Amino acid sequence: MSAEIIAALIKIVILVGGLLTAAAYLVLLERWIAAWVQDRRGPNRVGIPLTNIRMFGLGQPLADGLKFIFKEEFTPGHVDKGIYRLAPIVILTAAIAIFAAIPFGSVIPPVAGFTEPIPLLVVPELDVGIVYAFALSSIAVYGVILGGWASNNKYSFLGALRSSAQLISYEIPLGLGLLGVVLLAGTLRLDKIIEEQASTGIWNVFLQPLGFFVFAVAATAEAARLPFDLPEAEQELIGGYHTEYSGMKLLLFLIAEFLHMITASFLIVILFLGGWHFWGLTGGSEMSWLTAILRIVVLAVKIMAVIVTFMIVRWSWPRFRFDQLMSLAWKVMVPLGLVNLVVTAILVEYRKSSATAGGSESFVIPIVISWGMTLVAWVVAGLLAPLASDNTPRRAAAPFDAESELT
């Protein structure tokens, strides 16, 4: 076995182990933040098993996991058994496989048997990194649809229907928000996009504010987080597509859900918030162990910040109604994404021509233009496609006369 394969295997083990642990602890974090926002204390009891040491409830994921393992795994009689078992596997596999193309750090200095620095990316030099990540994030819809269909239950089916409509609609603004970044960087490789931001020192969020908004909203919808959690809306659909699941199968769905959120945070941070770059902290091109670890830490901190924002957002805004969700996607987000794409294309051309004319590369004009464009586009979108729609009942329609209908 060559050193590359061994290195890839080690990276896979670290990544999968880390992701599943992170998903477990995100459940705890979610419960904490839910509690704190509601002025409660949250889970703070479970610590080291068989002792009285509590550690602020950090043992909770272990207890949750044990509970899920020992729960009865009930398969209702009316489900389509094969698809029912397939759905959680599909959704979790797709959710984990995305991370093959997502860098979880920069590079580490060469160790045993290597002459080059080792990139912290399972599949280095994957030229279609973003396309791959998007393809797999779309496969998550299949898991949801299969689960909802196989459950043979109206709530599950409605959840799956909503979910497919939502995820397919929001793929478009997601892609449009991203295209501006791709135009700027000129590559589809996620590690190159980070390097581009690090070399100029200007994160894409400053150059692409509108793209960032569109992408962040669409990513929230893709991860099915509130206010876009229509697929599973507990109050309306008692859990949506995973209503009929229990035990480990339900756990797989829940892990996949948290992995989607982690993916969305990774993509937001890598594409718009500079990845592992932080001014004056993460070093230049020469690599030492210190800078390598600092970069991983910076990336992790940024991702945590985005995840915490997701969780606070969850408790800030009510869920969209389905028609509002769709009108937001098609009437607001898609046009905004298109505007962003066109303006970015013009800016890139302008930069190219000014570079060939011999002028020094300045970021002031692009930043001013993109922020001004964002402001104008936002106001126009807000005025032309307001989210609030007319909810008053139609009074003009002839009232239904039940008495005459009965007699």
Residues that bind other proteins (CB under 8 A): 33, 36-41, 44, 312-313, 315-317, 378-379, 382-383, 386-388, 390-393, 395, 399, 401
Q: How many other CB atoms are there within 10 angstroms of residue 142's CB atom?
A: 16
CB-based burial label for 304 (10 Å; 0-12, 13-18, 19+): middle
Q: Which of 192, 319 has the CB closer to other proteins?
A: 319
Which residues are CB-neighbours of 129 under 8 A, at least 6 positions away? 101, 102, 123, 188, 189, 190, 191
Closer of 39 and 286 to other proteins (Cβ): 39
Token pair 């609609």 in the structure block, residue:
169
Q: Which two tokens stand for residue 351?
A: 């930069």
Count of CA atoms in the C-beta half-sphere (13 A) of 320 = 24
Q: Which is nearer to other proteins, 116 or 323 (CB)?
A: 323
Shortest approach of other proteins to residue 91 CB, angstroms? 29
Nearest residue (CB) to other proteins, 259 versus 325:
325
Instruction: Say if residues 360 and 228 touch (Cβ distance below 8 Å).
Output: no
Backbone angles phi, psi at 83, to 5 degrees: -65, -35
DSSP per position, 268-293: HHHHHS-TT--TTTS--SS--HHHHH
Q: Can you name the residues that pair with 118 across neighbouring β-strands?
A: 108
Q: Which is nearer to other proteins, 256 or 333 (CB)?
A: 333
Nearer to other proteins, 241 or 320 (CB): 320
In angstroms, give the least distance from the CB of 35 to other proteins. 8
Residue number, 44 or 164, with CB nearest to other proteins: 44
Query: Shortest gap between Cβ of 390 and other proteins (angstroms)?
Result: 8
The secondary structure of 359-407 as a DSSP string is PPP-SHHHHHHHHHHHHHHHHHHHHHS-S----S--SSSPPP-HHHHH-
Closest distance to other proteins from the beta carbon of 33 (Å): 7
Helices 334-356 and 209-222: crossing angle, nearest 10°? 140
DSSP assignment, residue 76?
-
Q: How far is the CB of 59 from other proteins (least distance, A)?
A: 16
Neighbours of 118 (CB within 10 A): 21
Token couple for 304: 């945590």
Nearest to 386 by CA among 335, 339, 340, 327: 327
Nearest approach, Cβ of residue 27 and other proteins (Å)? 18
The least distance separating other proteins from the CB of residue 399, rounded to whole angstroms, comes to 5
Q: Three-state DSSP class for 107?
A: strand
The least distance separating other proteins from the CB of residue 382, rounded to whole angstroms, comes to 4
Q: Which is nearer to other proteins, 43 or 129 (CB)?
A: 43
Shortest spacing between CB 396 and other proteins, in angstroms: 10
How far apart, in Å, are the Cα atoms of 225 and each of 42, 110, 138, 209, 319? 20, 40, 16, 22, 9
Cβ proximity to other proteins: between 36 and 330 the closer is 36
Longest dimension (CA), the chain: 91
What is the nearest approach in angstroms of other proteins to the Cβ of residue 37?
Answer: 5
Contact 387, 318 (CB under 8 A): no
Rounded-to-integer distance, Cα 283 and Cα 277, Å: 9
Residue type, 372: G
| Shorter beta-carbon distance to other proteins: residue 1 or 383 | 383
